[in-house]
Structure 1
Amino acid sequence: MSLEILDQLEEKIKQAVETIQLLQLEIEEKNESIQQLEQQKSDMQQANDALRHENDQLKHEHANWQERLRSLLGKIDNV
Structure 2
Amino acid sequence: MTDLPPAPPPKPNPDSVARQRHFAIGLFRLSGALIVMFGFLAIMQRFAWVQGDKAKAFGAIMVVTGLFQFIAVPRILLALFRTRPPQ
Common topology (TM > 0.5)? no
Q: Tell which structure's C-alpha radius of gyration is larger.
A: 1
TM-score between both structures, scaled by the size of structure 2: 0.39
TM-score between both structures, scaled by the size of structure 1: 0.43
Question: Between Structure 1 and Structure 2, which shows a larger proportion of helix residues?
Answer: 1
